[in-house]
Structure 1
């Protein structure tokens, strides 16, 4: 399941980051988004979703949200 399919307000654990793009991998890692880390979807938007990672909120577009497996 990806972040786009996640329920709002439920805490999930990131299982994997599925991308071939090293730059995207490095960006997500810098946000604290890596395997084993808890993540919560705050809301779904037309172009992606807003998530909470380590007490910070981020707006992720559809491409980033599809890359995160929970």
Structure 2
């Protein structure tokens, strides 16, 4: 399952990030988004998803959300 399909308010463990873009991987890692980390979907928006990672909130676009396996 990917983050795009996640239920609001539930905690998930990130299994892997499925992208070949090293710059994107580095960016996600700097946010604390990497394998084994807990992520929570706070809301689904038209163009993205609001998530909580390590007590911080981020708006992630749908393409990126689809690349995050939970």
Q: TM-score, normalised by structure 1?
A: 0.97
The answer to whether residue 38 in structure 2 is matched with residue 38 in structure 1 is yes
Q: Which runs of 5+ in 2 are unaligned?
A: none
Equivalent residue number for residue 59 of structure 1: 59
Q: Which runs of 5+ in 1 are unaligned?
A: none
Aligned-residue RMSD, C-alpha: 0.5
Q: Distance in 2 between matches of 1:23 and 1:67?
A: 14
Please identify runs of 4+ aligned residues in structure 1 that moved more than 6 A: none
Q: TM-score, normalised by structure 2?
A: 0.97
* Number of residues of Structure 1 aligned to a counterpart in Structure 2: 70
Please show how residues 1-70 of structure 1 align to structure 2 within 5 Å. Answer: 1-70=1-70
